[in-house]
A and B are shown apart, each in its own frame.
Chain A
Amino acid sequence: MDSNPKDEQFREYVLARRGVLMREAYLLTGDPQQAEDLVQTTLAKTYVSWHRVRSSTSPDAYVRRILINTNISTFRRRRIREVLTATAPEPAAPTTPEHEWGPELIDALRSLPERQRAVVVLRYWEGLPEAEIAEALGCTVGTVRSHTSRALKRLRGSMHALVGPVAVRKEG
């Protein structure tokens, strides 16, 4: 593939950020394959708008917004094929240590509406302040707070239902 300065910059960006984007996409989608597709699409859109991304005050925030919006629009297209249930038909026996939720956490995340899920990932995984989350989602800070509150309530309920109360291991 022929190369130019723009492509070189873009390659560097992809190599530096694709790991983080993959993990974020995985938390947003709950599915490895969908995560890969989401990141591929996100970065392709980023390439198209690269001159704007590069000149923005925060390229990472710009790309994050593409990722989230792409996931939301993709979710809307596929949700007619996706059936969410309150409980798994055959819950697997927990195989993780006490406080290390694996599939249960992803299941609980996937039970959230997509915008609530995005808020959870951005706030508790990325550690973003509410204002940045609001910018990423194109909504107000108040909406972020209400999404957060509802998401936590549902997550607590889901986790209790899936694995029961989990005791915290006291360190030390």
Chain B
Amino acid sequence: MTDGTMEQDRDPETWLGDALRRHADAFDRVGPEPDDVIAEGRRRVRRRKVGVAGAGTGGLALAVTAGLVFIGNPTPPQVPVETGPTGSVTAAATATATATATAIYNGPSADEVISTGTLGGETWSVSASYAQAQGWCFAVAYGDTSSGLGCQTGFTSEPASDVGKPWVRTVMTGANFVQNGVRTLPCEDGVIVYLSKDVTSISMTAPQMSRVTEQPVVVLGQAFTAFVAPLDGAAFTSTGSDGKAGPAEGNVLSGMVGAGVCGTPG
């Protein structure tokens, strides 16, 4: 029996709400399993939330360009970093780069060491164990001053404390690391190479290399351009404006999610 009213002409709160509820209630799929979601979430975290500690100018360039979380302050002088596509970073940490790196290497035992920094106007305060619990992966930037001889001996110089800590990776920065101009890069996933404006050419054995920034990253007044190369074991040569190979502004991040960085020489 009907009262002559058309369903669609009734109060939409009634007819539409009822219709939607009936239809939605008949949809009885369970939805994703929590552990599947967590697994995907962790993959996303590892892709997107990579901390950079012990950062000099190279670490800052990595953090800014790749949209990473920056932790720690640059070795002096502290400077604002202007960037291309990902906003700006002004380092405001209280811990020194070396202390931050040490804290992360020491893992949860160094909880009391909190590093702070700002990225995109948001302040981050992070302890090593918190970051680990979040599934973050840390890149510890070694520059000439902090790693010294290690820079010149390549990836074998990574501290033994890295072993068993997959959330810690190392960035080699500084001119010394690639002072010979040619290096084989033992990266598993890829490398980002930043070139200073003084570099006039670069060649790589990698079959693919694409530019990833639309405009140069500016660090300490020097312009860098970021490239990414998905490769495994590539070598690159850079040539400076003086026509000589190196000291190159290319550095690599060892065997992690695909990032490398350079710093200004020294």
Q: Which residues on A are within 8 Å of B, measured CB to CB?
A: 1, 4, 6-7, 10-11, 14-15, 18-19, 21-24, 26-27, 32, 35-36, 39-40, 43-48, 50-51, 98-102, 105-106, 120-121, 124-125, 127, 152, 155-156, 159-160, 165-170
Given contacts A4-B133, A155-B8, 6 further A-B contacts (CB under 8 A): A14-B32, A18-B30, A19-B31, A23-B25, A39-B31, A124-B16
**Known interface pairs A10-B38, A44-B41, A45-B44; A170-B3 also in contact (CB < 8 Å):** yes
Chain B residues, Cβ within 8 Å of A44: 37, 40-41, 44
- A101 to nearest B CB, angstroms? 5
**Contact residues on B (Cβ < 8 Å of other chain), bracket:** 35 or more
Check B36–A167 contact: CB distance below 8 A.
no
B17 touching A125 by the CB < 8 A rule?
A: yes
| Interfacial residues, chain B to chain A (CB-CB below 8 A) | 1-10, 12-13, 15-27, 29-42, 44-45, 48-49, 133-134
Complex Cα distance A39/B2, Å? 40
Q: Among the interface residues A98, A156, A160, which one has the most CB atoms of the partner chain B within 10 A? A: A156
Q: Which residue of A lies closest to B12 (CB)?
A: A152
Q: Is the CB of B12 within 8 A of A124?
A: yes
Q: Which residues of A contact B133 (CB under 8 A)?
A: 4, 6
Indicate which residue in A48, A120, A121 contacts B41 across the interface (CB closer than 8 Å).
Answer: A48
Given A18-B31, A124-B17, A26:B24 Cβ within 8 A: yes
Q: Would you give the shortest CB distance from A91 to chain B, in whole angstroms?
A: 17
Q: How far is the CB of B41 from chain A (nearest CB, A)?
A: 3
6 contacts between A and B (CB under 8 A): A14-B33, A18-B32, A21-B31, A47-B37, A48-B41, A168-B7
Which of chain B's residues have a CB closer than 8 A to the CB of A124?
12-13, 16-17, 20
User: Which chain B residues border A170 with CB–CB below 8 Å?
Assistant: 1-3
Q: Give the distance to chain A from B119, nearest Cβ to Cβ, in Å.
A: 15
A18 to B33 CA separation, bound complex (whole angstroms):
9
The A contact surface, by secondary structure, is: helix
Complex CA–CA separation, A171 to B26 (angstroms): 22
Give chain A residues whose Cβ lies under 8 Å from the Cβ of B10: 168
Please state if A14 and B37 are interface contacts (CB–CB under 8 Å): yes
A7 to B39, CA, bound (A): 10
| Cβ-closest chain B residue relative to A5 | B133
Give the distance to chain A from B114, nearest Cβ to Cβ, in Å.
16
Residues of chain B within 8 A of A105, CB atoms compared: 19-20, 23
Q: For residue A12, which residue of chain B has the nearest CB?
A: B34
Distance in angstroms between the alpha carbons of A89 and B120 in the assembled complex: 50
Query: Is B3's CB under 8 angstroms from A22's CB?
Result: no
Most chain A CB within a 10 A radius of its CB, from B24, B31, B33, B40: B31
